Amino acid sequence: MTSRNHQLFELSQKYIPGGVNSPVRAFKSVGGEPIFFQRGQGAYVWDVDGKAYIDYVGSWGPLILGHAQTEVINAVQTAAQNGLTFGAPTEAELKIAELICQLIPSIEQVRLVSSGTEAGMSAIRLARGYTGRSHIIKFEGCYHGHDDALLVKAGSGALTFGHPSSAGVPAETVGHTIVLDYNDRAGLEKTFVEHGDKIAAVIVEPIAGNMNLIMPESGFLATLRELCTQHGSVLIFDEVMTGFRVGLSCAQGLYQIKPDLTTLGKVIGGGMPMAAFGGRRDIMQCLAPLGPVYQAGTLSGNPVAVAAGLATLKQVQAVGFYERLASKTQQLTEGIVAIAKKQGVAFCAQSVGGMFGLYFREKIPASFSEVMECDKDAFNRFFHAMLNEGVYFAPSAFEAGFVSSAHGDMEIDKTLVAAEKVFDTW
């Protein structure tokens, strides 16, 4: 009998390119068919054929409280009953803006948008408008959304599917984008010596989560901060993934580095389409209607999305929230590593807050080129074997994974039992 999943995928491919509305959802790199989900609750998702999975994707990061979390759903329902959108200011927008500014000291003013892509694109335009310069620096393997100027040697799906630099982007558009190696301080210094007065901004994932998980080496972010200050360039931290995921003060708090602008997304929308960019007041005030840099959005600050975001941010502020999340995540990675070691599999893992990286190689990678050395075939085998056991990891060797506060000891234990079974017959 053909599964419902297969039927839906067949039909979807007729009407939707590749059958998916975002390429990372396709199982193209791991093989097989993407899973169509019907519902989620806590740490679990159920597919259309009724099979349950422990979910370590969490919609690619937003669901830090797990699926259909009661307070978030209640807030969304209440907001929806009062009207879906006004295209005019609401008090809830003020509340979330104030909260973001309080929780992230580098942000003095913030503007809400609807996706991480919009946040990154707007931050770049703002930095260019503020400095009157054109060049930007980004790092290979970092993903900042699908804006033209940033789709150069990008991570995430762009990397997974072998098109890190997208077709359809004119050479002139990316002519101002300089791509450097993540963690390469010497390369940075050299570039600033040569082009410092032309560089409007450096955009970086302060912890890179779109080429699997790569931590910044000691001094990398500090060097970035120093060089940007010295040359009058705007330092943009893309915390769309790391924001309220690695800790309450985000990656910038962990490393004690203050960027000029920050982009946020995922967790701040609590599973609804919301993102933001914010930072220094003098820079933010260049935005329309105050200044000449134009940026807008019909659904920006959408009341339902803001309600989900507020309900989420309220809960992550609970005492010990991030300590518990980090220890749960570590329990998972350390558990899988121990099992793999026992079976002699070349495997390692690491985590920060509620975010983790799994690598099929002996040593934790510190650069893009080291990530590329991971055994992709081994990952694909692992992915499918775990899926079969009811554990859903991201369908790519180049994505970070996520644990939510709904993942308890039981879910971690079940995952480890599944890993034991998988590595036993490796």
Chain positions contacting ligand PMP, by CB under 6 A: 60, 115-117, 120, 143-145, 156, 205, 209-210, 238, 240-241, 265, 275
Q: Which residue is nearest to ligand PMP (CB)?
A: 116
Q: In this structure, are residues 118 and 124 in contact, taking their beta carbons and an 8 Å threshold?
A: no
261 or 418, CB closer to ligand PMP?
261
Output the six-digit token pair for 42: 């806590």
Sheet (strand 44-47) strand order: 37-41, 44-47, 52-55, 391-392
Q: How many CA atoms lie within 13 A of 73 on its CB side?
A: 9
The DSSP code sequence of 306-365 is HHHHHHHHHHHTSTTHHHHHHHHHHHHHHHHHHHHHHTT---EEEEETTEEEEESSSS--
147 or 184, CB closer to ligand PMP?
147
Q: How far is CA 6 from the centre of its chain?
A: 29
**Minimum gap (Å) between residue 408 Cβ and ligand PMP:** 26
61 or 335, CB closer to ligand PMP?
61
Rg (the chain; Cα; Å): 21
241 or 387, CB closer to ligand PMP?
241
266 given a catalytic annotation: yes
140 or 238, CB closer to ligand PMP?
238
**Minimum gap (Å) between residue 72 Cβ and ligand PMP:** 18
Catalytic one among 238, 322, 328, 392?
238
**Minimum gap (Å) between residue 149 Cβ and ligand PMP:** 13
Catalytic one among 44, 56, 130, 143?
143
Catalytic one among 28, 138, 153, 266?
266
End-to-end C-alpha distance for the chain, whole angstroms:
30
- The amino acid present at 394, given as its one-letter code, is A
**Minimum gap (Å) between residue 3 Cβ and ligand PMP:** 29
- Cα gap 234→239, rounded to integer Å: 15
**Minimum gap (Å) between residue 158 Cβ and ligand PMP:** 11
- Residues annotated as catalytic (active site), given as ranges: 143, 238, 266
